[in-house]
Chains A and B, each alone.
Chain A
Amino acid sequence: MTTALQLPDAEALCAALADAMRGHIDPATTALVGIHTGGVWVAERLHEALGLKTPLGSINVSFYRDDYSRRGLHANAKAARIPFTVEGAHIVIVDDVVHTGRTVRAAINELFDYGRPAKIDLAVLVDRGGRELPIAPSFCPHSLSLPAAHKLALERAADGGLSFQVIEK
């Protein structure tokens, strides 16, 4: 066991992320897409805090993962919901944590099956390093370093409060 890691305050990071995005997005036209499951929770917060007009989208990258041939289909895949026109849109992909970048790669591929966006940004609460693909967040209020065997997971309590947990794989 390592010494107890000081985990960032997820609620404070949501507010900081919204502040970082304000001024770089157009509330009338920018669309948010959360990645199931943690990314959807963060996207819901951002959507409200930024007062966006475009309905919130969500995607599940289970059908696009690059480890399908080794790990099979993930259980309990949720349907994607893209309630706006992707063609020509400015889209911000939202996730809780960026790590290897593979999930983001899958999400970008999936979005292109709905049309050709004008621009895609990436907003995450935490960048934990360990990238395996040339992907960088556009908006990210916090960075930290974790051993590869640890998973940083966002959890939502019954009252809706968000918090980070570390799970040893």
Chain B
Amino acid sequence: MHKSPQLNKHGELQHLLTIEGLPRDVLTHILDTAAPFSEVAEREVKKVPLLRGKSVFNLFFENSTRTRTTFEIAAKRLSADVINLNINTSSANKGETLLDTADNLSAMHADMFVVRHAASGAPFLIAQHMAATGRDHIHVVNAGDGRHAHPTQGLLDMYTIRHYKADFTRLTVAIVGDVLHSRVARSQIHALITLGVPEVRVIAPKTLLPTGIERLGVRVFNDMREGLRGVDVVMMLRLQNERMQGALLPSTQEYFKSYGLTPEKLALAKPDAIVMHPGPMNRGVEIDSAVADGGQAVILPQVTFGIAVRMAVMAMLAGN
């Protein structure tokens, strides 16, 4: 049986903390469950009553607009009450520990925490603490922790790929850019490999690759042109300037020249290749505007699909 802290004793999702270690059938089940939720947005009343009376706390210890907003919309479309906690005005600034914050919110009868934190493992810590103190009814969703994982982003990326490409087992997928600092890349790689993608490529300069990345089952390319040849899906990553320490890159102009996705480089991929980006984009750094706004980009559909995927995850967790 699975010993994953995210599964309950019946093997059902109790928390969503990372894609790593989740079996393929669980991932597929989440993607299947998300499909009918996408239809809710087309209704006169964009709401279903599944989480009516539940309180979802968005605990964002790190800035985010898109992720926090889409989690908020997803929870509201499930009829939950949503409370957004902004770190800059919260008591963590006054010295309260992470677990004290979680304890206080659970004393306010929280049913779910959506946690983003700059420290890898913060959502795990909260989930473990809840289990150790007998509060199994509280669910934790990782909305991005440090360099570790961003599972709902990984899942919405898989949903997007499946929407356009159907069969994972015939695809070549390239992940391009700042893999070193990217929790998104880690979640994407685990998801792609679990879902049976035969060739996952990682394209980046040596300074932006974590050591031992090959052990995850990916092919590493330092030359972008070589790496893009014949791929079905190009997943761009944001250059995370705010996390860079020291001189990892000569300049953003140099970076764009070697690793920016231009129409000319994209032409090396399959003609029907799709281009994805988790946002926010740095135009002219990792992606050319002509590509970002071009016909092969599915960057805005990713955002829309993200709401359905987050609705599915929250509805599944709250029901388990």
A interface residues with partner B (beta carbon < 8 Å): 60, 62-64, 68-69, 71-73, 75-81, 86-87, 109-110, 112-115
Chain B interface SS verdict (over half): helix
Chain A interface SS verdict (over half): loop
Known contacts A73-B315, A75-B29, A76-B32; is-contact A113 B47 (Cβ 8 Å): yes
Given contacts A63-B50, A73-B50, A77-B36, 14 further A-B contacts (CB under 8 A): A68-B319, A72-B316, A72-B319, A73-B33, A73-B315, A77-B33, A79-B35, A79-B36, A79-B38, A86-B44, A109-B49, A113-B45, A114-B45, A115-B44
A79 to B47, CA, bound (A): 14
Known contacts A73-B50, A113-B44, A114-B45; is-contact A78 B319 (Cβ 8 Å): no
Contact B48 A64 (CB under 8 A): yes
- B88 CB-CB contact with A under 8 Å: no
B interface residues with partner A (beta carbon < 8 Å): 12, 29, 32-33, 35-36, 38-40, 43-45, 47-50, 315-316, 319-320
In the bound complex, residues from chain B placing their C-beta under 8 Å from that of A87 are 44
Smallest Cβ distance from B35 to chain A, in angstroms?
Answer: 6
Partner of A63, one of B12, B38, B48: B48
In the bound complex, residues from chain A placing their C-beta under 8 Å from that of B45 are 112-114
Smallest Cβ distance from A137 to chain B, in angstroms?
Answer: 24
Contact A114 B319 (CB under 8 A): no
Contact A68 B39 (CB under 8 A): no
Smallest Cβ distance from A14 to chain B, in angstroms?
Answer: 27
Closest A residue to B311 by beta carbon equals A63
A69 to B78, CA, bound (A): 13
Which 4 residue pairs of A and B lie closest in terms of their CB atoms, listed nearest first? A72-B319, A63-B48, A79-B36, A113-B45
Partner of B49, one of A63, A75, A78: A63
Contact B49 A60 (CB under 8 A): no
Closest A residue to B12 by beta carbon equals A72
23 A–B contacts, CB within 8 A, in A order? A63-B49, A63-B50, A63-B315, A64-B48, A68-B319, A71-B319, A72-B316, A73-B33, A73-B50, A73-B319, A79-B35, A79-B38, A80-B36, A80-B39, A81-B39, A86-B44, A109-B49, A113-B43, A113-B45, A113-B47, A113-B48, A114-B44, A115-B44
A77 to B32, CA, bound (A): 8
In the bound complex, residues from chain A placing their C-beta under 8 Å from that of B50 are 63, 68, 73
Smallest Cβ distance from A120 to chain B, in angstroms?
Answer: 16
Smallest Cβ distance from A135 to chain B, in angstroms?
Answer: 18
A45 to B26, CA, bound (A): 36
A71 to B315, CA, bound (A): 12
Contact B36 A114 (CB under 8 A): no
Closest A residue to B51 by beta carbon equals A68
Closest B residue to A82 by beta carbon equals B43
Contact A64 B39 (CB under 8 A): no
Closest A residue to B53 by beta carbon equals A69
In the bound complex, residues from chain B placing their C-beta under 8 Å from that of A80 are 36, 39
A87 to B45, CA, bound (A): 12
Contact B320 A72 (CB under 8 A): yes
In the bound complex, residues from chain A placing their C-beta under 8 Å from that of B316 are 72-73
A71 to B318, CA, bound (A): 10
Smallest Cβ distance from A87 to chain B, in angstroms?
Answer: 8
A77 to B29, CA, bound (A): 10
